[in-house]
Chains A and B, each alone.
Chain A
Amino acid sequence: MESLDLHKISVRELNQYLHKELPNKNGVKKLEILNPDGMHSIAAGMDAPVDIDIKGHGGYYVGGMNKHANITVHGNVGWGVAENMMSGTVRVKGFASSAAGATGRGGTLIIEGDTSLRCGISMKGIDIVVGGSIGNFSGFMAQAGRMVICGDAGDGLGDSMYEAVFYVRGKIKSLGADAQEEPMTDADYAAVKELLGRAGFKHDPKEFKRVAGAKKLYNWNADANQEY
């Protein structure tokens, strides 16, 4: 397996290699990145089907804009992990800071620990599976995609959400404007089962509740008097 050490090369050199040389190379299907030490933008902008193991803690925007790659972080990550991901998988073995999976369009983001605030903010099609709990204001303006939360959710979950759907196993501190709990259907149980399977988490889908947008914000309501 190819090994790249961030004590020896810069993140820019690493990413240039991952973007330009790696896709044209034969044989390299798996590589590891050593000593990430909280540096930013590690393996951001990937556009090749390759398995990347990051051995340690990443900084901001790890795997941002990812397309096709399967990235595993053997540690924690800073803000904006897998932000605007298009496809592929990003797995974080530890915890993720704020804005995990922000604006993500596709692919799967798996966080085995907790995430901080604003997880899945403005998500647009990504699937997010969180093994632990998520912080306040998560799923704000979430437009499409699914989020499975095996722990608890903080304040204001799903505020102003559109067509995304969240499944929460634990307690919800509070729902945001227009977000509401809805009955689980057979399709929901199947979706939770499939997403938990993808993440490798063993929970009973029956333990989850569904949160989605009530769609009352879709049209301007002059009588609401700014109370939502």
Chain B
Amino acid sequence: MCGIVGLLVKNQKMRADIGKLMLPMLIGMTERGPDSAGLAIFGAPVADDERKFCLYTPDVVFDWQKLERDFAAHFGTKDKVEQNANHVILKTTVASDSVKAWLKEAYPRLSLLCVGQLMDMYKDTGTPAQVAARYGFQNLSGSHLVGHTRMATESAVTPAHAHPFTAGEDWCLVHNGSLSNPNSIRRMLEHEGIGFETDNDTEAACRFLEWRMREGDDLKTALNKGFDELDGFFTLLMGTKDQLALVRDPFACKPAIVAEHDDYVAIASEYRSLAHLPDVKNANLYEPMPEELYIWKV
């Protein structure tokens, strides 16, 4: 199974409350995905020359201040880290490759969840309500987000295997479904020099699409190539710095419903995650068609 949710808030005044609007959406998908949950949210951008690095520690007690001191000592900067439970966000002007190399060397137990200028990412094991409470999802603000509740069917239950998945910067993907050829996709991409962090099938789809877009395809072209290459069932919801995009496999094996309202666009696997949204009775409700790309711009 698995549940997906997406929310794009058009009404500027409501963006401060996007976390509160989203929380019942994510919890509404608990039966579809009780073992892990995750969220990628697009908020205020950092400065042009800065990047945000979202990091995860598996350790119950972790000395983030030491990380801050070590980072400052190594790079000679005064960058700060913001801690939130097992996550930390590091904002720095140091080049991404240097930061990634240093983290791998000095803090091998930390996982790098995402890099970008607008996107923060959270993912962890536990019920959606537990994960949301751990990281204070209800306090988040931003323009748009994608969320996921996971019922693992093909790989382990760990924070790294939870969705969203990301590759590149300010781009992420959540997936409801299963792929039957993730290993052949992986082998193909590994020949292109692309590395993998997990054995999760969604990571293969994520890296495939990011690779195509890095090679110059736009999202539509990349997804059309995805229809040729990805074998299996999928409803994919993607977030970029200024849009949400959704696509379903040719058999529409996995559900999705959209509510378009003057104030927001909300997407979920099922209507029960949309029922609480303000004035949803006046929203345009519809099911996305199979093999069609839907894009909503911020």
Contacts and interface: CB of A to CB of B under 8 A. Distances in A.
A40 B269 CA distance: 13
A62 to B, nearest CB: 11
- Tell me whether chain B's interface is mostly helix, strand or loop, or mixed: loop
Sorted from nearest, which 8 A-B pairs have the closest CB atoms? A38-B272, A38-B271, A37-B275, A57-B271, A117-B252, A38-B275, A116-B287, A59-B272
A116 B255 CA distance: 10
Size category of the B interface is 10 to 19
Interface in A68-114: 76, 78-79, 94-95, 97-98
B272 A39 contact: yes
A137 B251 contact: yes
B170 interface: no
Contacts of B274: 38
B275 A79 contact: no
A135 interface: yes
Interface of B: 251-252, 255, 257, 270-276, 285-287, 290
A57 B283 CA distance: 13
Nearest to A96: B287
A76 B275 contact: no
A97 B270 CA distance: 10
A38 B270 contact: yes
- Tell me whether chain A's interface is mostly helix, strand or loop, or mixed: loop
Contacts of B251: 117, 136-137
Contacts of B275: 37-38, 56-57
A78 B270 contact: yes
Contacts of B276: 37
Nearest to A78: B270
A38 B275 CA distance: 7
Given A57-B271, A59-B270, A79-B255, 17 more contacts: A37-B272, A37-B275, A37-B276, A38-B271, A38-B272, A38-B273, A38-B274, A57-B285, A78-B270, A78-B271, A97-B257, A98-B252, A98-B255, A117-B252, A135-B252, A135-B290, A137-B251
Contacts of B255: 78-79, 97-98
Given A95-B287, A136-B290, A116 B271 contact: no
Contacts of A98: 252, 255
A78 B255 CA distance: 9
B285 A76 contact: yes
Contacts of A57: 271, 275, 285
Interface string A29-68: 0000000011110000000000000001101100000000
